[in-house]
A and B are shown apart, each in its own frame.
Chain A
Amino acid sequence: MMAKYLLLKHYRGAPAPANDVPMDRWAPEEISAHVKYMEDFASRLEETGEFVDAQALSMEGTFVRYDGEGRPPVTDGPFAETKDLIAGWMMIDVETYERALDLAAELSAAPGAGGKPIHEWIEVRPFLTAPPTITE
Chain B
Amino acid sequence: MDEALLRTLTPTVIGVLVRRGADFAAAEDAVQEALVEALRVWAGEPPRDAKGWLVTVAWRKFLDAARADGSRRRREELVEGEPVPGPGEAVDDTLRLYFLCAHPSLTPASAVALTLRAVGGLTTRQIAQAYLVPEATMAQRISRAKRTVSSVRFNQPGDVATVLRVLYLVFNEGYSGDVDLAAEAIRLTRQLAAKTGHEEVAGLLALMLLHHARRPARTGPDGRLVPLAEQDRSLWDTCLIAEGVDILQAALARDRLGEFQAQAAVAALHADARTAEETDWVQIVEWYDELVRLTGNPVARLNRAVAVGEADGPRAGLAALADLDPALPRYAAAAAYLHERDGDPATAARLYAEAARSAPNLPECDHLMRQAARLNARLRGGAAT
A28 touches B374 (CB 8 A): yes
The interface on chain A, measured as residues whose beta carbon lies within 8 A of the other chain's beta carbons, has a size of: 17
Interface assignment of B377: CB less than 8 Å from any CB of chain A = yes
Partner of A23, one of B224, B349, B360, B369: B369
A60 touches B358 (CB 8 A): yes
For chain A residues 18-56, which have a beta carbon within 8 Å of chain B? 22-28, 30-32, 35-36, 39, 56
B358 touches A28 (CB 8 A): no
Interface assignment of B29: CB less than 8 Å from any CB of chain A = no
A28 touches B377 (CB 8 A): yes
B357 touches A32 (CB 8 A): no
A31 touches B222 (CB 8 A): no
Interface assignment of B352: CB less than 8 Å from any CB of chain A = yes
B369 touches A24 (CB 8 A): yes
Partner of B373, one of A25, A35, A39: A25
Interface assignment of B376: CB less than 8 Å from any CB of chain A = yes
With A26-B373, A56-B362 known as contacts, the answer to whether A32 contacts B356 (CB < 8 A) is no
Interface assignment of B7: CB less than 8 Å from any CB of chain A = no
Interface assignment of B223: CB less than 8 Å from any CB of chain A = yes
Assembly CA distance A25 to B222 (angstroms) = 21
Chain B: minimal CB distance from A24 (Å): 4
Interface assignment of A105: CB less than 8 Å from any CB of chain B = no
Interface assignment of A59: CB less than 8 Å from any CB of chain B = yes
Assembly CA distance A35 to B363 (angstroms) = 10
Mask, B349-366, CB within 8 Å of A = 1, is: 100110011111010011
Assembly CA distance A56 to B370 (angstroms) = 17
Q: Which residue of A lies closest to B352 (CB)?
A: A24
With A24-B353, A60-B357 known as contacts, the answer to whether A32 contacts B376 (CB < 8 A) is no
Interface assignment of A58: CB less than 8 Å from any CB of chain B = yes
Q: Which residue of A lies closest to B371 (CB)?
A: A28
Q: Which residue of A lies closest to B374 (CB)?
A: A28
With A24-B349, A24-B352, A36-B222 known as contacts, the answer to whether A31 contacts B369 (CB < 8 A) is yes
B-side contacts of A32, CB under 8 Å: 222, 224, 370
Chain B: minimal CB distance from A70 (Å): 24
> Other than the known A32-B222, A36-B222, A56-B362, what 13 A-B pairs have Cβ atoms closer than 8 Å?
A24-B349, A24-B369, A25-B373, A25-B376, A31-B366, A31-B369, A31-B370, A32-B224, A32-B370, A35-B224, A56-B365, A58-B360, A59-B358
